[in-house]
Structure 1
Amino acid sequence: VQDNLEGALTEADIEPLNMPEMDRDELVEGESFKFTLLCQVKPDIELKGLDALTVNRELVEVGDTEINAEIEGLREQNAELEPVEDRGSETGDIVTFDFVGTLDGEEEPFDGGSGTEHPLELGSGQFIEGFEDQLIGVKEGDERVVDVTFPEDYQAEHLAAKLAHFACTVKSVRCKALADVDDEFAVDLGHDDLSALRASVYDRLFEAATKEKDGDVREQLLKGLMEANEIEIPAALIEMAQKQLQNQMGMHLAMNGMPRDQIAQAMESETEGVLERAKEMAHRDLLLDAAAVEGDISVSDDELEERIGEIAVDMNQPKAKVRASLQENDRIHSVRGEMLHEKTLRWLEEQASSVSGDSTSASAEGNPTADDASDSNVEVADEES
């Protein structure tokens, strides 16, 4: 049977989505027998609504407001920290402290509730609501007990809705000393002058905004196709998409330091939501595959090799090593599939009618080049630390 299975599938031009189930006649020694294979396959889809696709292409605008906000963020990121000695801590200060947490009515610290030399920017919202407010006014060497109640939906269920007491010892209080926005600041960040910095910020913001608008357009295209083509999705495709989403979710939670038992609980609580997203993913993939056939779109071996080269550059690995890894993990087919869907989405964009402006246009304010950047510099008053 196994010897004839692959040949039978090839002859019938069938690409099974799951392991075929076999139904066969009763075996009689010396006699031939007939067997039937049952498997799930992709449905034949005759796409509807291609000629009615419409997208709203919003204008990409990057002006002084966005550039100034980004530069202000750079000031924050590159601020020097200076000790605070003549006052208590305020919102925006960085308080470094040791802490030991106990649950109300218990004497022993609970797991994960203690830390040393922990820096915390007051007002950043990094800790449980109410924690940071109780550290306002502290000075180096102070000891303070912070009382907070964990949220009812806290991810660690054994702490949810419980009152806790944190004994804190302040090691230091520091404030941010922000640089003036001038040529010297720009040079420190690797630019020739402030005008060059502003031009660089503009380019980065414009590229990010363009990608976001492109993503919006593609979401509109996919939504339009899905609404026009309601199809029965094979259970095997939904199951594969569900496993992919679960693996991604598990890896993300693990990389963020969540314990294994909590990861299992978190994933179980998201089962229904993951299933719905899996159905949507499988639906989209089927429609994009059908659109690729409609548009006679394919990915050549040369294009695939170019993409593998790009992946190798991003990973800072030799191309041959990346290719071998993709082949070993059966990912070559996935990479080609992703490329096919990207090309298909671009083709769909070309087919769609636009009801707004060109998404690649700059704003009326334009790129602040070296010639005009001085007219739109960030004005920030000197701040005392």
Structure 2
Amino acid sequence: MTPIERAVADTHRREWAFVLAATARVARDMDLAEECVQEAYATALQVWERDGIPNNPGAWLTTVAKRTALDALRRQNVFRSKLPLLVEPDEADMNYSAESTGDVIPDDRLRLIFTCCHPALSGEAQIALTLRLVCGVSTADIAQAFLVSEATMAARVTRAKKKISAARIAYRVPAAEELPDRLDAVLTVIHLLFTTGYTAPSGDQLVRADLVQRALDLTRMLRDLMPDEREVWGLLALLLVTHARRETRTDAEGRLLLLEEQDRTAWDQEAIEEGHRLVLDALRGGNPGRFALQAAIAALHATAKKYEDTDWPQIITLYDALLRVWPSPVVALNRAIALTMVFGPEAGLTEIEELESDGRLEGYRYLPATKADLLRRLDRKEEAANAYKAAIALAENEAERAFLTQRLAEVS
């Protein structure tokens, strides 16, 4: 890869969301905006080779993409007829500001996430479309998050975009009173963006720091925008106490370290304390939501002085409450791990086998990985080896594959 290609690739990772959000305000059509942004990146490969990399690559790309969009709209003469509309027609897009239009959402990226989470689309379609277009997450990585094949997810995104056009949905920035109805989808998008960056589904690095930081930034902005929403507090707490372990998740050679192996003195105590305060606020008032409950579980892990001090019975209680508000098989899998810590690996293995027969976690790499670990603890080495092989076949992140391969060697 040439230096210019590396620069373009790096800018794509860091700036895609900014460039697309700014271009969408001009294009008022998601397909057109995406095409113009892609064309801007292709242009960068040629122009930067000739003129050098600009001081602000993101601003350069935004300018080129917006001009391309305006040229396309002028040629087609569809400023008012092109749908789906993202904002009301306004040719002063280049001088756009939230104050001048009365928008209540101050950030382009957050504004576009709320816009894409349109209630006319199914919940999964909202989230998948937003992750793909706004957040720049690959279709393959989104598919892993939804436990479906890449082809299935690509088809879902395509159907969602076609529905927008066919139904002539007015894809405008929602008003303030519409935000609460879209909040759960927006929180889910940001959470999946964080988890995709925190443990990358594929690639040779465990963490994609750009996605993690983007999710944290968006959540803080969301907290400022909707300061009375407890689930926003819960999500911010969850991200903070989870990300606090970032420096200890691998050793000096890049080997994956489990929670019990990590140096807790190196955790970000300031982030843990802030997250813990937010958890307490989010739990007050009764009936906590799924993000507040997940944050409470994460906080129990983060505040334990030693791994042996972890309050596993309380974690099981929280998982029981979480399953009532969010009956996810992934939650059930994590609860099985907690059961193991209280009642032994046999108890957890029973739950794992029920999840296997259920079928909803088919293709989820952490199911066979968890089963393998429990079988290893029970000294059922041959069965553990088979489970590790199944997990390795599903793992596409090199750090995870290396960890599982080492465990396989230990039981073989």
Tell me the TM-score normalised to structure 2 length. 0.23
The higher relative CO (CA closer than 8 Å, separation ≥ 6) is in 1
Tell me the TM-score normalised to structure 1 length. 0.24
Which protein shows a greater Rg?
1
More strand by share: 1
